[in-house]
A and B are shown apart, each in its own frame.
Chain A
């Protein structure tokens, strides 16, 4: 296995996953995951379909409970936590879903304002300012505020999803397959959006993806997941040197055999 990234590893760990196991029925999905994501870095969890990426991410935010193991967020193990304690931890997170998961019954503005209205006592004009600032950071103009999610393109929905995820200034942003189903130009703009969120807000980002190009664009650290275990973990350069057969076959599909 490739050693973990050297420079970000020196920073304080924001997420630590220790010996994580999860089984659904007879199907072992995660079989001993160990991963550390330093604060302020971007970690991409790369792997093929069905490798357990989404299940791993859902453990990080407490949507699933593991059979065994620890998930330590900012120094606290969230596995034994109850509903109330988990809600406090989730305030540190923002999550961007594969299909954006915007609330269809709300406008773009209402979607982005939703976490602020739920968790702060900010007056409406402050909420308006914060929402506009986040939408602008994502390159969205004022005229989209009143539109409903159904009227937006896939790329715009992703941007609104990220604006909503970062409106509460979270410490960690999780991205679930952010570039799946997008054309190459929109994919580039989503990559830029991920980098902008990290640059401007200093958040820790975890991206799960099977998009090699996008992973190499945004990652400080890439962990390769295969059959429920992380078989390689390191900087993008270190991952390209990996001799693990699953990693080599996967990367050859993009970089070629040489």
Chain B
């Protein structure tokens, strides 16, 4: 007969160990998600240059992401320009520098706010829809159905959405700039009595085309990032309606964070 020594009971991990484990797990999750997004980005690029070019799908997404966001971006741009003109004029009046309202609003919009706000609007309006639609298609096996019909889902579903983000966010950024400056002009000239000539001349004096291009490049990077994140989260959703909801929440948070982080990194790069 053999005797068995009783095994030692497993020790509860301490608080510090648990905290380190949780931090490590979080880090692994972030790195694996980033890796997944980059890998999907490479796949999207590879399939975007291969036939058949799905132009109908691309135009449908350009319409949805771009044309569909015109109203909300124009409205946000107008009010942003108006409130910015109002606040800066209050500050500049303190030292008789109201003539700088135009260039201040222009530089802030073109270099920073237009791209960031346009990308946030597209995230909320189109990114959430992309993620939910793809997630629902995944959990109801519509993505599998595409594959079984010998249609590549990356090419059919993801390429048009990612390209739409890449092309339309810069276009919306330009619209934001235009509407923002129009709003600022109305408030500064119409409401605060700044002379139209001063407003326009000072803006032209301080602004260079590079400021606008910087914003447009930012818009393209944000659009690409947001579309990739929303597509990645939706495409890999699982667990029914709850899973799709969770994927959409994660996509919104990750998209918003990525816009601000990328904005800082690009700001450093362009400074």
Q: B144 at the A/B interface (Cβ < 8 Å)?
A: yes
Q: Give the docked Cα–Cα distance between A149 and B4 (Å).
A: 63
Q: Which of B136, B148, B150, B151 contacts A63 (CB under 8 A)?
A: B148
- Give the chain A neighbours of B147 by CB distance below 8 A: 63, 90
Contact with A along B114-153 (1 / 0, CB 8 A): 0000000000000000000000110011101101111110
- Give the chain B neighbours of A83 by CB distance below 8 A: 152
Q: Are A101 and B142 in contact (CB under 8 A)?
A: yes
Q: A97 at the A/B interface (Cβ < 8 Å)?
A: yes
- Give the chain A neighbours of B151 by CB distance below 8 A: 118
Q: Give the docked Cα–Cα distance between A61 and B137 (Å).
A: 19
Q: Give the docked Cα–Cα distance between A83 and B150 (Å).
A: 9
Q: Are B148 and A93 in contact (CB under 8 A)?
A: yes
- Nearest A residue to B145 via CB reads A101
Q: Are A61 and B148 in contact (CB under 8 A)?
A: yes
The secondary structure that dominates the A interface is: mixed
Q: A148 at the A/B interface (Cβ < 8 Å)?
A: no
Q: Are A90 and B150 in contact (CB under 8 A)?
A: yes
Question: Nearest Cβ distance between residue A166 and chain B, in whole angstroms?
Answer: 12
Q: A250 at the A/B interface (Cβ < 8 Å)?
A: no
- Give the chain A neighbours of B148 by CB distance below 8 A: 61, 63, 90, 93-95, 174
Chain B contacts with A in 135-189, Cβ cutoff 8 A: 136-137, 140-142, 144-145, 147-152
Q: Give the docked Cα–Cα distance between A58 and B152 (Å).
A: 16
Q: Which of B137, B144, B150, B152 contacts A97 (CB under 8 A)?
A: B144
Q: Are B152 and A99 in contact (CB under 8 A)?
A: no
- Give the chain B neighbours of A141 by CB distance below 8 A: none
Q: Which of B136, B142, B149, B150 contacts A88 (CB under 8 A)?
A: B150
Question: Nearest Cβ distance between residue A181 and chain B, in whole angstroms?
Answer: 14
Q: A91 at the A/B interface (Cβ < 8 Å)?
A: yes
Q: A87 at the A/B interface (Cβ < 8 Å)?
A: yes
Question: Nearest Cβ distance between residue B44 and chain A, in whole angstroms?
Answer: 14
Residue of A90, A101, A102, A115 with most chain B CB atoms under a 10 A cut-off: A101
Q: Are B144 and A114 in contact (CB under 8 A)?
A: no
- Nearest A residue to B156 via CB reads A118
Q: Are B141 and A87 in contact (CB under 8 A)?
A: no
Contact with B along A45-84 (1 / 0, CB 8 A): 0000000000000100101000000000000000000010
Contact with B along A165-193 (1 / 0, CB 8 A): 00000000010000000000000000000
Q: Are B150 and A87 in contact (CB under 8 A)?
A: yes
Q: Give the docked Cα–Cα distance between A80 and B163 (Å).
A: 32
Q: Give the docked Cα–Cα distance between A61 and B152 (Å).
A: 14
Q: Are B141 and A99 in contact (CB under 8 A)?
A: yes
Q: Are A118 and B142 in contact (CB under 8 A)?
A: no
Q: Give the docked Cα–Cα distance between A99 and B138 (Å).
A: 12
Contact with A along B202-214 (1 / 0, CB 8 A): 0000000000000
Q: Which of A58, A99, A104, A118 contacts B149 (CB under 8 A)?
A: A118
Q: Which of B136, B141, B144, B150 contacts A91 (CB under 8 A)?
A: B150
- Give the chain A neighbours of B144 by CB distance below 8 A: 58, 63, 95, 97, 101
- Give the chain A neighbours of B145 by CB distance below 8 A: 95, 97, 101-103
- Give the chain B neighbours of A87 by CB distance below 8 A: 150, 152
- Nearest A residue to B149 via CB reads A115
Question: Nearest Cβ distance between residue A151 and chain B, in whole angstroms?
Answer: 16
Across chains A and B, which 9 residue pairs bring their CB atoms closest together, nearest first?
A101-B145, A101-B141, A90-B150, A87-B150, A95-B148, A97-B141, A115-B149, A101-B142, A91-B150
A90-B148, A95-B145, A103-B137 given; 19 more Cβ-contact pairs under 8 Å? A61-B148, A63-B147, A63-B148, A88-B150, A90-B149, A90-B150, A91-B150, A95-B148, A97-B144, A99-B140, A99-B141, A101-B140, A101-B142, A102-B145, A103-B142, A103-B145, A104-B136, A104-B140, A118-B150
B residues sitting closer than 8 Å to A (CB atoms) are 136-137, 140-142, 144-145, 147-152
28 chain-A/chain-B pairs, Cβ below 8 angstroms: A58-B144, A61-B148, A63-B148, A83-B152, A90-B147, A90-B148, A90-B149, A90-B150, A91-B150, A93-B148, A95-B144, A97-B141, A97-B144, A97-B145, A99-B141, A101-B140, A101-B141, A101-B144, A101-B145, A102-B142, A103-B142, A103-B145, A104-B136, A114-B149, A118-B149, A118-B151, A119-B150, A174-B148
A residues sitting closer than 8 Å to B (CB atoms) are 58, 61, 63, 83, 87-88, 90-91, 93-95, 97-99, 101-104, 114-115, 118-119, 174
